[in-house]
Structure 1
Amino acid sequence: MINTPLELLKKIPQQFSSDVFRLKKVRILLGIGVFFIVFLLIPLPDPLFTPSYSTVLLSSNGNLLGSSVAADGQWRFPLSDSVPEKFSVCLTNFEDQYFRYHPGINLLAVLRATKQNIGAGKIVSGASTISMQVIRLSRKGKSRTFSEKILEMILALKLEYKYSKDEIMALYASHAPFGGNVVGLEAASRRYFGREAKKLSWAESATLAVLPNSPSIIYPGKNQRQLREKRDRLLKKLWNRGVLDSLGCALACKEPLPGKPKSLPSIAPHLLQRAKNEGLEGTFVNSSIKIALQKRINALVAQHHERMSGNEVHNAGALVIELKTGKTLAYVGNAPVKGKDSAHGEYVDIITSKRSTGSLLKPFLYALSVDEGLIAPKTLLPDIPMFFRGFAPKNFDRNFDGAVPADQSLSRSLNVPFVYLLKKYSYEKFHLRLKELGMTTLNQPANHYGLSLVLGGAETTLWDITAMYAGMGRTLNGFFKNPEPTRYRSGDFRPNSYLKAVSDKKNSALHNGKISAGAIWRTFKAMKELRRPDEEGRWEIFESSQPVAWKTGTSFGFRDAWAVGLTPEYVVGVWLGNADGEGRPGLTGLRAAAPLLFDIFDALPRAKGWFPQPMSDMPSAEMCQKSGMKAGPDCPENVIVRNPVATRRSPACAYHKLVHLDENELHQVNSRCYEVGKMKHRPWFVLPPVQAWYYKKKHRNYSSPPPLRPDCRDLEAEKNRLAFIYPRRKARIYVPVELDGTPGQTVFESVHRDKSATIFWHLDGDFIGRTEGKHVMSFRPSRGVHTVTITDKEGNSLSKSFEIISD
């Protein structure tokens, strides 16, 4: 059919309209196609956010102990896995009321914003959802263009596909700006209101919800009037929507706005820094610290530090450990900093610093020696001048007791008996056992430390030493809870932990050391005695609200003052001194550290009783009351006591001897000179001559056996009448020059069983003098090897070789 020109003219508009419609349809389809192509091609960044985060240290119940700014100087707390309900409601009502329903884009809002933007000729409304704002926050610094907006929409859809609504809300709350250098809800809540976000009121939550809208213009401390108006509008919106009632809204609107940001607490700064150093930077560190106890111990350390600072002692540390779990309850790494210009090492973490042990290792040597049967708990140990290849240990008071029970040697912290004991035990073995018990600082071979290992020749940390004491306590507590025959658990000796939940990796860091429960119980019994002699020989008594097994330590040169103590529930360790190693007069464990130790124990809950005695590990044994050794055939007075099983292997009494006397008991006799039937036989406590000489000074009732009747003497009877105190065998002696420049002299000393005897001295065969009473001879031999000989009137003699190594 042929159309007329008029009909053709009528069809032109219809055709044009149809072409335009098809063109629009093509464009829409093309746009949709491009959108989906871009959607498929552009990936969602993974991870979405890569900023640095603050390190946040929390107490065991979630209170803030301290935090540090992120690497970029922002207060940006780590990502939270949830958002408080009040803030979530405030935010969605202010920013995106359909957040829970749209797929990341609110199409109605987009159409409305498009119309407004076209009318204005520029972007005046973004129609941004919370999901789109999360994308914008992750693409920090991008300009606000139409293409950027389209990209945000695409990525918002992908965000919704990958994350739940709660996770998206948490991403926003953790990365939104809140004014100044405060980023994220938790940081803002702490900085502006001084508490965690879940404890904020409706008014406070509303304040924070409106801040990210324009954080550089309006925030607490700046443009307060505009901030109040925005907050109150939001609160009224909540009222209109039924979230708040009228009274709640009115009261919320009357709440004051926060001022300038608050300082965050710094309750355990050294633990915070330690956590960062140990790989926990930029995380929430959920610690085992009890915040109330931490504050109390902080105050006690500050108080004692103030007292000691008058003696130029500037640093102190304290550690409280829960014995059962090994978890840290209080961690005071150092004394508080005094002023910004303080230069006394207050930032040094004393708890992890290596310091000379002083006497802190003596309880372990005592326990190990008892556990091995080397000694019984009360075995007499020699306390006399000793010389070991140039090493001459001395007691703190420079006195000697001759012979002292082992447990008293521990409670009095005598040096000489413990060096003697270490010599018997072997310092190589002790070095190995200490490492097995958890002493991680022994990084040199045993020969490097030698016998000084038990007197402070090695270094340890408060962290290690408290864990080692805790291991002994756990062994004793666990002995009654573990069924036979598994009385001992492999994990009793393990490192302390400051984390609330210990990872499997941490749990695997166990030590393989073991000490028997009986030996530990005896060790704690000796340590529990609270009376200790101080430096001047007086006796101090520390009053404590509960029994405590404790030990002090003082390093050479008064550089370190230690005290460590434990109850069945807690272990406490303290240290005072100077971080730079400067020694100070009177800086001793007893004077400086022990008072703080007992103040801390008084701040702790009282322990329920004491460590129960492990009866099955401590069978009854007959012991010599005088020597403390297993009863021998000549011991006159024996006692039945419970001692560790290994005591059965310890030596029998070596000090009681059966002495044969004449009928008047004035002389010793033998069958060669006296009728056996008339002899009187008496058990006699006999110490070696040097021990006896010092022992009788402290024990006036000690008496040597009567002398041998002259006509009964023979070579055998004359043994051990003479003895050298100094020099020891093959001694190498350096004789110093006196302060006035004159040549010095070396002092030799000997002892005779007969206190009235005269001793004649010879050097290399030449007579040099005689002594009576106290046998001390001073002279200056020339450089080289010499022999000194002593004789008495009866012709008994004794010689010693020595070498002078100075000119």
Structure 2
Amino acid sequence: MRRFFWGLGSLCILITLVYIFSPKPDLITFTSYSKAFVDRNDKLLRITLAEDQRYRLYTPLSSVADNLKQATVLYEDKDYYQHIGIDATAILRAFWATYITQQRRIGASTITMQVARLRWQIPSNTITGKIEQLIRALQLARHYSKQEVLEAYLNLAPYGRNIEGIGAASLIYFNKQPADLSLPEALTLAVIPQNPNKRTPTTVSGFKHASSARINLFNKWLELYPNAISQQKYMSLPLQVRAPEQLPFLAPHFITYLDNQLSRWEHGIIKTSLNSDKQKQLEHILSSYIASKSNIGIANASALLLNYKTMQIESMVGSADFHNTAISGQVNGVLAKRSPGSTLKPFVYGLAIDEGLIHPMTLLKDAPKRFGGFSPENYDKQFLGPILAGNALIESRNVPAVDLQAKLTKTSFYAFLKSAGITKLKQQSFYGLALALGGGEVSMLELVKLYALLANQGALKSPSGFFNNTILASEDEKKLLSPEASYLILNILKDNPPPTEFGLHVFDPEKNDVAWKTGTSWAFRDAWSIGISGDYIIAVWVGNFDGSGNDAFVGRTAAGPLLFSALNALIPQQAWSVEKDTFTENLNVKKVEMCKNTGDLPGKHCLNKQKSWFIPGVSPIKISTIYRAIPILKSTGERACEFDLSTTEMKVYEFWPSDFLHIFQQAGISLKTPPAYAANCSLDQTSSSGQSPVIRSPQSNLEYVLQHDNPLSNQIPFTATVDPDAKTLYWFINDRFIAKSNADKPFFWQAEVGEFTIRAVDDSGRASSGRFKVVNIIR
């Protein structure tokens, strides 16, 4: 007996020392927690597992219903607020009954001791385990308040199966936050931790045992709170209990996308920007569309809905079927890098507008052209000839887009994409001029971010999937396009006609505008469509995750109808107009009458006019000189040397530069060109104030390199654009005449090393000049 008391005394001294000198332990961050993702209206989307494969959702004590806190203390440790973490009387009684008289095992664990056991995983069926529990309980009591210890207990206690903590238990079993539990629900949860295996409420036997324990607890509850007798009628009613297998698994790609952005320390209730109703609609639209197009090999699609005003993602569908392994359904197509086809062209045009290269009605050339070793073709293998810039963008012509990209000088298209946050781009030299045609790779999320830039007056903003955007630091807002260029591009895209394929209903023109664009990647691997309407941007992609092609994967016919089906279902019809609803008073744009056929301000002889936007001081605007009145001999129909009232009459003809004239002829377009001068006209009489030659090759200030291994390639073509009345060009190098050529034919000059001034003179004496250099590199 003396040895027993010596041991007891030593234990007391040890406990005292631990109590005084023990460090403050961590009660919360020592373990991992689940995340409960809810939509913008607090509907549960998914609860993730903690790192140890348990549902454990951290919940502060202030978010727990009072009835649950009181019931837990009443059932587990009724003297909790009176003792110092251990109940000495209960311990002695339990020790005497268990080890001295050996009558029966009596528990003496307090809530603090249970927290110690759960925190340090202490075995409670041995004497040493019990002693460690006592010591740790005193350590906790030394450093934490009663409220803090109770909070730890409610977050660590087992509630059956792999559910720990009141937050997860309340949400899983009753689909409620712990603050919203009714008394029957609170009492049910309070009795589970004492015997979680036996009282798990998701089985018949478990619910029976939990109900029995709950009745006993309710009787104790009535002793303390007699007025709760009014709740007795609810105690016999069946409870709706949900098992973990019945938990929602909604918007899986979206939740995984968000979960990957959060650290292990970010847990609890995560409120997302998702609109569950729109998500369900969009999923149904995709699955229905895929089912209807399976006969032409369309088996997969992705879609994204973004509110560009809030920059919140409201719907994300990563694949047609998350659970379909045949299409790799768990891959998130919204994040996958794919060729965007022509969907990037609006930004080439936007940069060109900002650099003063074009306005929406600038006349561009859709004709065969080589850019070094690159000769772009169109999807339809045809060329339309001269085409207005707006039409070239809508009809997605390739040569005009590449030509504009090549002419950008202030900001390269590659630099623009880098500034916009497009990731994983290779070196600029890898792409050359193919970027405008989808030569690089972007994700749907990146593409939507770019289109939001158009909707937000050129300001780059980051999309977010969180309802509170401050959860993640947002990048500084950058202006990558002017508000004016963004406005003009939207006005062009709104005139893109909606698809009529597949019999799908399209927008009524009296309703919302849709500024939209399509894209088709090389080898028909990806079909894209993206549109801005109202406050939203919707992007859709149709293709295969394995990159296999299909002739059906064409943006307008495969993705366009899917886009408009989604727009009709998801965007409120509010007569939204690009021209009115995106216009602000600070925009430096004007709408004026333009000559429809030439894209310039109309001269007095232009009859076909239409209104269009331009940016004063930026857009390359001039009065059209294509339509001119000239004297014609009444007798022969020839062009007169000069006007004579008795023998001539004034008629209007089209004076197109030679390059455009050639393209019109290639396209088979008939023009009213001026007739030849009468034979008796002298050179002085036929000279006019028309356009001087514009030297196209050699390019001014360009350096050419001699290639010794291929002498034939050392010939430089001399070409120039001339006025329609010019038939011959005279070429001079350093004021030395070297050749005469037809105005519409190139002259090939055998290059030699040196710096040269080139001069071209037409047969009316109009001239222009430039400089170039030829160097010799010896390898």
For this structure pair, what is the TM-score category when the shorter chain's length is used for normalisation? 0.7 to 0.9
* AA in 1 matched with 2:557: R
* AA in 1 matched with 2:315: A
Instruction: Report the counterpart of residue 433 of structure 2 in structure 1.
Output: 451
- Which deviates more from structure 2 when the two are superposed, residues 546-555 or residues 564-573? 564-573
* AA in 1 matched with 2:50: A
Instruction: Report the counterpart of residue 711 of structure 2 in structure 1.
Output: none
C-alpha contact 2:301 2:543 (8 A) present in aligned 1: yes
Q: Secondary structure at the match of 2:601?
A: coil
Distance 1:389 1:255 in 2: 79
C-alpha contact 2:312 2:466 (8 A) present in aligned 1: yes
Distance 1:540 1:399 in 2: 30
Instruction: Report the counterpart of residue 605 of structure 1 in structure 2.
Output: 572
* AA in 1 matched with 2:454: M
C-alpha contact 1:428 1:446 (8 A) present in aligned 2: no
Distance 2:399 2:209 in 1: 78
Instruction: Report the counterpart of residue 502 of structure 1 in structure 2.
Output: 469
- The yes-or-no answer on 1:179 pairing with 2:154 is no
- The yes-or-no answer on 1:518 pairing with 2:484 is yes
- The yes-or-no answer on 1:95 pairing with 2:58 is no
- The yes-or-no answer on 1:37 pairing with 2:17 is yes
Distance 1:113 1:666 in 2: 129
User: Please, which of 512, 516, 536 is the counterpart of residue 550 of structure 1?
Assistant: 516
- Structure with the greater alpha carbon radius of gyration: 1
Instruction: Report the counterpart of residue 631 of structure 1 in structure 2.
Output: 601
Q: 1:613-651: per-residue Cα shift (whole Å, max 9, x none)?
A: 235433547654134544376763597957343555515
* AA in 1 matched with 2:493: M
Q: 1:116-172: per-residue Cα shift (whole Å, max 9, x none)?
A: 335543882232222221111112152433443343234334324433444333322
Q: Secondary structure at the match of 2:47?
A: strand
C-alpha contact 1:174 1:183 (8 A) present in aligned 2: yes
C-alpha contact 2:512 2:534 (8 A) present in aligned 1: no
Please list, as runs of the form range in 1=range in 2, the aligned pairs for 1:51-130 lying within 5 A after superposition: 51-78=31-58, 80=60, 82-118=63-99, 120-121=101-102, 124-130=105-111
* Pair 145,470 (structure 1): closer, same or farther in 2 beyond 3 Å: same
Instruction: Report the counterpart of residue 493 of structure 1 in structure 2.
Output: 460
Instruction: Report the counterpart of residue 673 of structure 2 in structure 1.
Output: 704
Shift of 1:457: 0.9
- The yes-or-no answer on 1:329 pairing with 2:314 is yes
Instruction: Report the counterpart of residue 669 of structure 1 in structure 2.
Output: 639
C-alpha contact 1:662 1:680 (8 A) present in aligned 2: yes
User: Please, which of 517, 535, 539 is the counterpart of residue 573 of structure 1?
Assistant: 539
Structure 2 residue runs of 5 or longer lacking an equivalent are 692-698, 705-721, 723-739, 751-779
Q: 1:386-428: per-residue Cα shift (whole Å, max 9, x none)?
A: 2223322223233322211111222222223222222323597
- Which deviates more from structure 2 when the two are superposed, residues 406-415 or residues 616-625? 616-625
Q: Secondary structure at the match of 1:66?
A: strand
* Pair 160,307 (structure 1): closer, same or farther in 2 beyond 3 Å: farther
Instruction: Report the counterpart of residue 493 of structure 2 in structure 1.
Output: 527
Distance 1:535 1:301 in 2: 16
- The yes-or-no answer on 1:798 pairing with 2:737 is no
- Which deviates more from structure 2 when the two are superposed, residues 281-290 or residues 450-459? 281-290
Distance 1:371 1:333 in 2: 35
Shift of 1:469: 1.5
Question: Number of residue pairs matched?
Answer: 702
- The yes-or-no answer on 1:591 pairing with 2:560 is no
Distance 2:34 2:26 in 1: 21
Q: Secondary structure at the match of 1:209?
A: helix
Distance 1:427 1:447 in 2: 18
Q: 1:776-797: per-residue Cα shift (whole Å, max 9, x none)?
A: xxxxxxxxxxxxxx99xxx988
Distance 2:470 2:19 in 1: 41
Q: 1:721-763: per-residue Cα shift (whole Å, max 9, x none)?
A: xxxxxxx9x9xxxxxxxxxxxxxxxxxxxxxx9xxxxxxxxxx
**TM-score with structure 2 length normalisation?**
0.79
Q: Secondary structure at the match of 1:98?
A: coil
Instruction: Report the counterpart of residue 401 of structure 2 in structure 1.
Output: 418
* Pair 683,453 (structure 1): closer, same or farther in 2 beyond 3 Å: farther
Shift of 1:230: 1.3
User: Please, which of 291, 307, 314 is the counterpart of residue 306 of structure 1?
Assistant: 291
Shift of 1:460: 1.0
Please list, as runs of the form range in 1=range in 2, the aligned pairs for 1:34-433 lying within 5 A after superposition: 34-46=14-26, 50-78=30-58, 80=60, 82-118=63-99, 120-121=101-102, 124-219=105-200, 220-221=202-203, 223-224=205-206, 225-242=208-225, 245-256=228-239, 258=241, 260-281=243-264, 283-284=267-268, 285-338=270-323, 342-425=325-408, 429-433=412-416
C-alpha contact 2:457 2:484 (8 A) present in aligned 1: no
Instruction: Report the counterpart of residue 434 of structure 1 in structure 2.
Output: 417
Distance 1:546 1:188 in 2: 47
Distance 2:181 2:665 in 1: 76
Instruction: Report the counterpart of residue 467 of structure 1 in structure 2.
Output: 449
Aligned-pair identity in percent equals 27
Structure 1 residue runs of 5 or longer lacking an equivalent are 1-19, 477-491, 721-727, 731-752, 754-789
Distance 1:63 1:698 in 2: 59
- Which deviates more from structure 2 when the two are superposed, residues 563-572 or residues 546-555? 563-572
C-alpha contact 2:154 2:165 (8 A) present in aligned 1: yes
C-alpha contact 1:44 1:155 (8 A) present in aligned 2: no
C-alpha contact 2:639 2:674 (8 A) present in aligned 1: no
* AA in 1 matched with 2:32: S
Distance 1:631 1:90 in 2: 83
* AA in 2 matched with 1:51: T
* Pair 802,233 (structure 1): closer, same or farther in 2 beyond 3 Å: farther
* AA in 1 matched with 2:429: N
Distance 1:495 1:654 in 2: 43
Q: Secondary structure at the match of 2:541?
A: strand
Distance 2:82 2:292 in 1: 65
Shift of 1:358: 0.9
Backbone CA RMSD of aligned residues: 4.3
Distance 1:667 1:454 in 2: 48
Q: 1:466-514: per-residue Cα shift (whole Å, max 9, x none)?
A: 11221222227xxxxxxxxxxxxxxx3122111223348622x235333
Distance 1:429 1:257 in 2: 62
Instruction: Report the counterpart of residue 656 of structure 2 in structure 1.
Output: 687
* Pair 613,659 (structure 1): closer, same or farther in 2 beyond 3 Å: same
* AA in 2 matched with 1:248: Q
* AA in 1 matched with 2:745: L
Distance 2:194 2:461 in 1: 52
- Which deviates more from structure 2 when the two are superposed, residues 77-86 or residues 414-423? 77-86
C-alpha contact 2:377 2:398 (8 A) present in aligned 1: yes
* Pair 261,633 (structure 1): closer, same or farther in 2 beyond 3 Å: closer
* AA in 2 matched with 1:306: A
C-alpha contact 2:499 2:557 (8 A) present in aligned 1: no
Distance 1:632 1:45 in 2: 82
Q: Secondary structure at the match of 1:617?
A: coil
C-alpha contact 1:666 1:706 (8 A) present in aligned 2: no
Q: Secondary structure at the match of 2:248?
A: coil
Distance 1:314 1:60 in 2: 31
Distance 2:749 2:283 in 1: 55
Shift of 1:32: 4.5
Distance 2:508 2:226 in 1: 60
Shift of 1:524: 0.9
Distance 1:699 1:252 in 2: 88
Shift of 1:677: 8.6
Distance 1:468 1:326 in 2: 12
* Pair 551,43 (structure 1): closer, same or farther in 2 beyond 3 Å: same
C-alpha contact 2:454 2:486 (8 A) present in aligned 1: yes
Q: Secondary structure at the match of 1:562?
A: strand
- Which deviates more from structure 2 when the two are superposed, residues 583-592 or residues 351-360? 583-592
